[in-house]
């Protein structure tokens, strides 16, 4: 399916030469710079200082329901700019390269955990109408094509119009999502390992809510991949 998403010879972000790559070497360097200082929490993928704990405070208290979550980097700098341009300015030419970036994360981070089906986090019907596209779906399609995996954008449906998570406190985010998702055809997910795709993981409430309904429907395991994640702050306040 690679012919659907041909690689250009210039950087899809800045236009500088990038033979054989989606992004030029300068942009790639910016996207990977965080790796010098941080590494992902083994469970939720939030970024932790490289020399410290391997599991974050949240996961030590309560491990997430998904097998693991991983991201391409922190929600800052160039990655944040790209997500913003893609999601809010409709720069849809970034969907394929950003999806391929996710594919690299899956290959590098998930090792022998092979998902069988790629599933995007759905938008609420109202937001889908306003934005006209679901960014997670576009990313998921590109990722699935790159890895030769099956993709299904209609597995999870959104049953109520929830408030945007971004305006809510940590606790309110969980309440907001209670009962927000359901699976459409349980036979499609039963006994299969799923890869859940979204653009950003913040508190993890959305990923946990989706994982919950998938597991209830008989899915054997869920891993989560997002473009960006948070840097674990508890480290700075852990006195």
Q: How many residues does the chain have?
A: 239
Q: For residue 26, what are its two tokens?
A: 């300068």
Query: Contact between 13 and Zn ion (CB under 5 A)?
Result: yes
Query: Contact between 207 and Zn ion (CB under 5 A)?
Result: no
Instruction: Select from 47, 56, 101, 205 the one that contacts Zn ion (CB under 5 A).
Output: 56
Query: Contact between 43 and Zn ion (CB under 5 A)?
Result: yes
Query: Contact between 11 and Zn ion (CB under 5 A)?
Result: yes
Distance, C-alpha 110 to centroid of its chain: 13
Instruction: Select from 21, 40, 41, 198 the one that contacts Zn ion (CB under 5 A).
Output: 41
Instruction: Select from 31, 59, 79, 155 the one that contacts Zn ion (CB under 5 A).
Output: 59
Cα distance between residue 97 and residue 20, in whole Å: 12
What phi, psi does 44 have (nearest 5°)?
Answer: -95, -10
Query: Contact between 210 and Zn ion (CB under 5 A)?
Result: no
> CB-wise, 19 or 164, nearer to Zn ion?
19
> CB-wise, 24 or 155, nearer to Zn ion?
24
| DSSP H helices in the chain | 25-32, 57-61, 77-87, 95-110, 125-131, 135-147, 170-177, 186-189, 205-216
Q: For residue 156, what are its two tokens?
A: 């999870």
105 near 115, Cβ under 8 Å?
A: no
- Least gap, CB of 58 to Zn ion (angstroms): 5
Query: Contact between 71 and Zn ion (CB under 5 A)?
Result: no
> CB-wise, 59 or 139, nearer to Zn ion?
59
> CB-wise, 40 or 122, nearer to Zn ion?
40
176 near 163, Cβ under 8 Å?
A: yes
First-last CA distance in the chain: 52
- Least gap, CB of 23 to Zn ion (angstroms): 5
> CB-wise, 27 or 138, nearer to Zn ion?
27
> CB-wise, 137 or 232, nearer to Zn ion?
232
Query: Contact between 101 and Zn ion (CB under 5 A)?
Result: no
Task: Choose one: 37-45, 133-141, 172-180, 221-229; the region binding Zn ion (CB under 5 A).
Answer: 37-45
- Sequence-separated (6 or more) residues with CB below 8 Å from residue 22: 7, 8, 11, 12, 96, 97, 100, 101
Q: What is the contact surface with Zn ion in residues (CB under 5 A)? A: 11, 13-14, 16, 24, 27, 41, 43-44, 56, 59
């Amino acid at each position: 399916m690679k012919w659907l998403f041909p690689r250009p010879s210039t950087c899809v972000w800045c236009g500088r030469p990038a033979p054989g790559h989606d992004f030029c070497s300068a942009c790639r360097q910016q996207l990977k710079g965080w790796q010098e200082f941080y590494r992902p929490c083994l469970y939720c993928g939030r970024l932790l200082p490289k020399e410290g704990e391997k599991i974050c405070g949240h996961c030590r208290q309560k491990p997430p329901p998904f097998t693991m979550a991983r991201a391409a980097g922190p929600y800052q700098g160039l990655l944040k700019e790209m997500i913003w341009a893609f999601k809010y300015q409709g720069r849809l030419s970034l969907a394929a390269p950003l999806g391929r970036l996710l594919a690299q994360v899956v290959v590098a981070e998930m090792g022998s955990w092979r998902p069988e089906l790629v599933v995007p986090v759905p938008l609420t019907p109202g937001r889908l109408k306003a934005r006209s596209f679901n960014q997670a779906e576009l990313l998921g399609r590109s990722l699935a094509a790159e890895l030769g995996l099956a993709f299904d954008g209609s597995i999870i449906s959104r049953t109520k119009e929830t408030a945007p998570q971004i305006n809510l406190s940590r606790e309110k985010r969980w309440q907001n999502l209670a009962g927000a998702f359901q699976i459409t055809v349980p036979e499609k997910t039963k006994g299969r390992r799923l890869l859940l795709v979204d653009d950003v993981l913040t508190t993890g409430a959305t990923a946990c809510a989706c994982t919950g309904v998938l597991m209830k429907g008989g899915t054997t395991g869920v891993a989560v991949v997002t473009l960006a994640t948070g840097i674990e702050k508890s480290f700075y306040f852990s006195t």
